[in-house]
Structures are given as C-alpha cells and as structure tokens.
C-alpha cells in the first residue's frame, strides 16, 4: 500500500518544489473551480448572481466557523467529530460559492497589496469588513450550549436544504452544480440536528429545559420555518416559541467578534507565504 | 510509453489508499494531446481536503512518466458512492471497511430521518450481520462509525451519498 513516490505521512513534503503560490492561510492552493466554465449565462445579472453567491457562501462560512469552535469541546468525541465534519462540508460549500461570486463579478473581491498570493475566495473570507458580509443573523449568534447549537443547526440546515433544492432550477449552471452537491451533504446535517433535537427533548428534565431555552434564544432570528422543523417539533413535543421575529437590521455584534478572531492573522500577513 | 489514462487510473486516494481514483469514481476524464494531458476529477464532498493531494499526485505521477498534466474540476454530475467500482468495494472489505449500499434517490422533497439510518451492514472483520451505528460521522467526511455486537470490533462504513 505504501507508495515510496508519495509521502502522505509528511504534510510538508508535498509543499516543497511546487510552483503554486502558497499563501500561508488558505486550506488549499488550487482554485476550487479550476476548469469549470464560469461565464455568466446571458440574461443573468452578474452583480446579482455574485451577491446571491455571497449570501449563500457567507452563511456557510460563518456557521462553519461557529461549528468548528466546538472542536475539542463537544459533549463527547463522536459529537466533536460530527460537528467538525459538518463544519468541513460547509467550508467546502463556502469556498465554491465565494469563488463563484468572485468569478461572476470580480469587483466584489477586496483589493489587496500588490504581490499578495491570496486567492479570491480567501480574500473574500479574510479581508472584508463585517458590513460587507451577506450572512443571516441566525448563523452569527454565539454557540451557546450543545442544545442551542442543535436548535440553530436544525433551523439553518432545514432552510438551507430547502433552498438548495430550489437552486437546482437556477439559471446559473455553476450554482446548480454546487447546490446539487450540497443537497446530499445538508441531508445528513439536517438529520443529525433533528435526531439530537428529539433526543434532547425526550432525555432528562435538564436536557429538555436546555433545549427549549436554546430554541427560544435562536427562534427570533429564524427566516422561513420549514415543514421539516415543524415535524421535528411535533415529534419532540416541543411548542414553537412565542417570540416574534427580530426586526433589527444589520449584523449582530457577535459577527464582529467572530471575524476579529477568524481574520486577524491573515490580515496581519497579507503577503504571508510558506 | 504507458498511456496517461492508465497512470492516472492507478493514483490512489490519500485517505482510503486501498482505492485508486478510478475505483473511487472521482476520475472523470483523461484527455491526452501528445505529452499534454488534462485530467478531470470530481470532489467526493464539497470540503474534501484530499482534493489538493489527489491533484498533486496526478501531476507528479504523470510528470514522472513524461507527461505535462493539468487537473480540472468537474462539479456535475455530483459524485455518488454508486460510482465506487466492484473492485473498489472488494478492496474496502479486504481492508476492514464496510462498502456503501445503494445511494438514496428521491422524487420530490427529501424526507427527514428521525431514527438512525437503517442499513444492512455486515462486520468486515467477522462477517456478522449484527452491527450497530456508533456515529453517522467518522474520521473523514465519507465514513460512518460502526461496531460489531458479536466480535465487538469497531469499523468504518463508507456512507451512501
């Protein structure tokens, strides 16, 4: 099984001797849309398409970061791994969507110092101010405890799965392809959140109390309540919280703190290479 | 000279090295024009971190054979575990992994699953059909964790997608 020509046990070996620009903070060195036809179909407004991709990509990026904050803190090892896996899927969706936004309308990409090797999707992730993000307030909120994280994930994954199913009819074939792939992943995410929602609701008095408190904390930030969410609440015998929708506009303060943590090293070293 | 297609087909998946990229079904196309080769691969999952390694391995192995290779990505149709070849499934079992069943297909909205995913999973160690799901998410995005209730060994199942 071992292949002497390829040393997968040494993460650094593959970095040496390559001609690719190796920016220090990216997760990969290749355009995730390499070779994909990214021309915008006739009749579609490139600027609007880019904004749509930014909204979908930013939701994925910010929720991915929130979920990755559970790494080594989850209630048990299996949950730690599950949350990291879901975060990784969302990060992959974010990369594709931000790269698609940049290809559709390059003017959305922040201008970086000359000589910076930062690829477009990373420039969008690391070098935009909070005000330029298009994500929903729901994904920005702090994690709270595991019950609150579960309640938020149920709302977001249900809405995102429904939206991605609709996107398969979109006029942009790149967005259609990203959505078709994402549907398969989001199906697992929604089931994970739904199963844990029911488990916590039917567990102990304390797990139920925490779940109801967590749901009440995120409920005002919901957008559409999907039929799947109603179904889960019914099975779990949890009433919809009575709170109305939050009417505030703009981003939460939590997003600024999240971005400060996520962006600080990249912003300090915009030309950073290894 | 060995054909570019056969070199690309033998490059292995870095995370499940018992599988070649061809057995895994991620190798979509190899187009050779003299010594210039374009290889098309498709990601298993959107965030699969092995994509960069697959790309580098393809470029290096083809370069060793005298080819100048470019790797491009194809997103559609989305990868499915149904594309894992019979030889690949056999290799998974021989290495203690459980191969995926048929991928789910849906007409209309995707139904919610509130019980652990029901699968007829056989223990790849002892062959017992008595197995239980430990976690739907494993060490890589494509695997679930299982346990055999007869031999008690844990094992990984490549989950249907």
Tens place of pLDDT per residue across chain A (274 aa)? 444 455 566 655 555 444 444 556 654 557 889 999 999 999 999 999 999 999 999 999 999 999 999 999 999 999 999 999 999 999 999 999 999 999 999 999 999 888 788 889 999 999 999 999 999 999 999 999 999 999 999 999 999 999 999 999 999 999 999 999 999 999 999 999 999 999 999 999 999 999 999 999 999 999 889 999 999 999 999 999 998 888 888 999 999 999 999 999 999 988 877 6
Q: Please give, rounded to a whole number of angstroms, the shortest distance from the CA of A202 to a CA of chain B.
A: 13
The closest CB to that of A34, out of B72, B112, B145, belongs to B72
CB contact under 8 A, A35 and B74: yes
Domains recognised in chain A with CATH numbers:
46-267 (1.20.1260.10)
The Cα A252–Cα A93 span in angstroms is 23
Lowest mean pLDDT among A24-28, A199-203, B46-50, B74-78: A24-28
Q: Report pLDDT for A8.
A: 61
Of A92, A99, A95, A119, nearest in space to A21 by CA? A119
Q: What are phi and psi of B27, to 5 degrees?
A: -85, 110
Q: Do the domain assignments include residue B126? A: yes
Q: Do the domain assignments include residue B11? A: yes
Of A78, A212, A94, A201, nearest in space to A144 by CA? A212
* Cβ neighbourhood burial of B9 (10 Å; 0-12, 13-18, 19+): middle
Residue B113 has pLDDT above 80, yes or no: yes
Of B88, B111, B110, B108, nearest in space to B98 by CA? B88
Would you say A200 and A207 are in contact if contact means Cβ atoms under 8 Å apart? yes
The Cα A205–Cα A109 span in angstroms is 49
Q: Report pLDDT for A248.
A: 83
Q: Do the domain assignments include residue B69? A: yes
What residues make up the domain containing B41? Answer: 4-73
Q: Please give, rounded to a whole number of angstroms, the shortest distance from the CA of B109 to a CA of chain A.
A: 8
CATH of the domain at B57: 3.30.300.130
Q: Would an 8 Å CB–CB cutoff place A30 in contact with chain B?
A: yes
Say if residue B10 is in the same domain as residue B61.
yes
Of A119, A90, A60, nearest in space to B48 by CA? A90
Report the number of distinct structural domains present in chain B. 2
Q: What is the dihedral of CA A78, A81, A87, A89, to 10 degrees?
A: -100
Measure CA A46 to chain center.
Answer: 22
Choosing among B112, B116, B139, which should be mutated to test the A contact, i.e. which has the most A CBs within 10 A? Answer: B112
- Angle, vertex CA B79, rays to CA B40 and CA B85, nearest 5: 90
Q: Would an 8 Å CB–CB cutoff place A225 in contact with chain B?
A: no
Average pLDDT over residues B54-82: 95
Q: Report pLDDT for B23.
A: 98
Contacts of B75 in chain A (CB under 8 A): 33, 36, 96, 174, 177-178, 181
Of B110, B95, B105, B109, nearest in space to B160 by CA? B105
Would you say A75 and A146 are in contact if contact means Cβ atoms under 8 Å apart? yes
The Cα A167–Cα A57 span in angstroms is 14
pTM: 0.93
**Which residue in chain A is spatially nearest to B79 when comparing CA positions?**
A181
Of A125, A130, A134, A127, nearest in space to A50 by CA? A134
Contacts of A235 in chain B (CB under 8 A): 114
The Cα B156–Cα B161 span in angstroms is 15
Q: Report pLDDT for A272.
A: 77
Q: How confident is the model at residue B50 (pLDDT cuts 50, 70, 90)?
A: confident
**Which residue in chain A is spatially nearest to B52 when comparing CA positions?**
A28
3-state secondary structure of A5: coil
Contacts of the segment A3-7: beta carbons below 8 A, 24+ positions apart: A3/B12, A3/B17, A5/B60, A5/B61, A5/B64, A6/B14, A6/B57, A6/B60, A6/B61
Contacts of B161 in chain A (CB under 8 A): 184-185, 188
Q: Report pLDDT for A115.
A: 78
Q: Please give, rounded to a whole number of angstroms, the shortest distance from the CA of B129 to a CA of chain A.
A: 23
Q: Do the domain assignments include residue B83? A: no
Q: Report pLDDT for A224.
A: 86
Contacts of A16 in chain B (CB under 8 A): none
Say if residue B11 is in the same domain as residue B64.
yes
Pairing of strands B36-41, B27-33: antiparallel
Q: Report pLDDT for A6.
A: 56
CB contact under 8 A, A1 and B17: yes
The closest CB to that of B45, out of A1, A89, A178, belongs to A89
The enclosing H or E element of B29 equals strand B27-33
- What is the rounded average pLDDT for all residues in chain B? 94
Q: Do the domain assignments include residue B52? A: yes
Average pLDDT over residues B71-95: 96
Would you say A147 and A165 are in contact if contact means Cβ atoms under 8 Å apart? no
CB atoms within 10 A of CB B143: 22
Q: Report pLDDT for A242.
A: 92
* Cβ neighbourhood burial of A9 (10 Å; 0-12, 13-18, 19+): exposed
Backbone region of residue B88 per phi and psi (left: phi > 0; alpha: psi in -120 to 50; beta: other values): alpha
Contacts of B47 in chain A (CB under 8 A): 88-93, 95
The closest CB to that of B112, out of A78, A85, A232, belongs to A232
| B114-157 pLDDT, tens digit each | 988 889 999 999 999 999 999 999 988 899 999 999 999 999 99
Q: Do the domain assignments include residue B78? A: no
Q: Do the domain assignments include residue B123? A: yes
Say if residue B9 is in the same domain as residue B62.
yes
**Residue appearing with tokens 């199906």:** A187
**Which residue in chain A is spatially nearest to B51 when comparing CA positions?**
A28
Q: Do the domain assignments include residue B143? A: yes
Structure tokens at A215: 């749901």
**Which residue in chain A is spatially nearest to B50 when comparing CA positions?**
A28
Q: Report pLDDT for B52.
A: 86
């Amino acid at each position: 099984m071992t292949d002497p020509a390829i040393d997968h046990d040494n993460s650094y070996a593959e970095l040496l001797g390559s001609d690719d620009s190796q920016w220090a903070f990216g997760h990969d060195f290749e355009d995730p849309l390499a070779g994909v036809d990214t021309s915008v179909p006739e009749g579609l407004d490139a600027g609007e398409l880019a904004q749509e991709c930014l909204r979908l990509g930013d939701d994925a990026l910010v929720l991915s970061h929130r979920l990755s904050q559970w790494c080594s803190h989850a209630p048990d090892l299996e949950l730690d791994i599950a949350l990291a896996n879901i975060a990784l899927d969302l990060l992959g969706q974010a990369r594709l969507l931000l790269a698609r936004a940049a290809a559709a309308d390059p003017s959305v990409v922040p201008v970086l110092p000359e000589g910076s090797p930062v690829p477009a999707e990373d420039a969008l992730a690391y070098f935009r101010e909070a005000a330029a993000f298009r994500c929903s307030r729901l994904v920005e909120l702090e994690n709270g405890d595991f019950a609150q994280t579960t309640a938020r994930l149920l709302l977001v994954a249900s809405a995102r799965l429904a939206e991605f199913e609709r996107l398969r009819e979109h006029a942009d074939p790149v967005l259609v392809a990203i959505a078709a792939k994402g549907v398969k992943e989001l199906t697992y995410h929604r089931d994970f959140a739904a199963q844990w929602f029911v488990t916590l609701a039917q567990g102990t008095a304390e797990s139920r109390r925490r779940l109801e408190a967590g749901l009440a904390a995120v409920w005002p930030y919901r957008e559409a309540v999907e039929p799947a969410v109603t179904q889960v609440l019914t099975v779990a015998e949890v009433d919809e919280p009575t709170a109305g929708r939050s009417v505030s506009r703009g981003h939460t303060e939590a997003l600024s703190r999240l971005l400060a943590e996520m962006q600080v090293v990249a912003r300090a070293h915009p030309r950073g290479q290894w | 000279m060995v054909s570019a297609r056969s070199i690309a087909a033998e490059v292995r998946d870095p995370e499940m090295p018992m599988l070649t990229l061809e057995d895994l079904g991620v190798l979509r196309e190899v187009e050779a024009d003299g010594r210039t080769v374009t290889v098309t691969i498709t990601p298993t999952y959107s965030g699969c971190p092995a994509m960069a390694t697959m790309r580098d391995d393809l470029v290096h192995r083809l370069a060793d054979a005298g080819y100048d290779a470019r790797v491009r990505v194809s997103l559609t149709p989305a990868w499915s575990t149904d594309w894992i070849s019979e030889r690949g499934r056999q290799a998974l079992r021989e290495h203690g992994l459980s191969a995926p069943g048929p991928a789910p297909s849906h007409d209309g909205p995707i139904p919610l699953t509130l019980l652990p995913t029901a699968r007829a999973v056989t223990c790849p160690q002892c062959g017992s059909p008595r197995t239980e799901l430990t976690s739907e998410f494993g060490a890589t995005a494509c695997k679930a964790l299982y346990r055999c209730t007869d031999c008690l060994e844990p094992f990984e199942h490549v989950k249907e997608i």
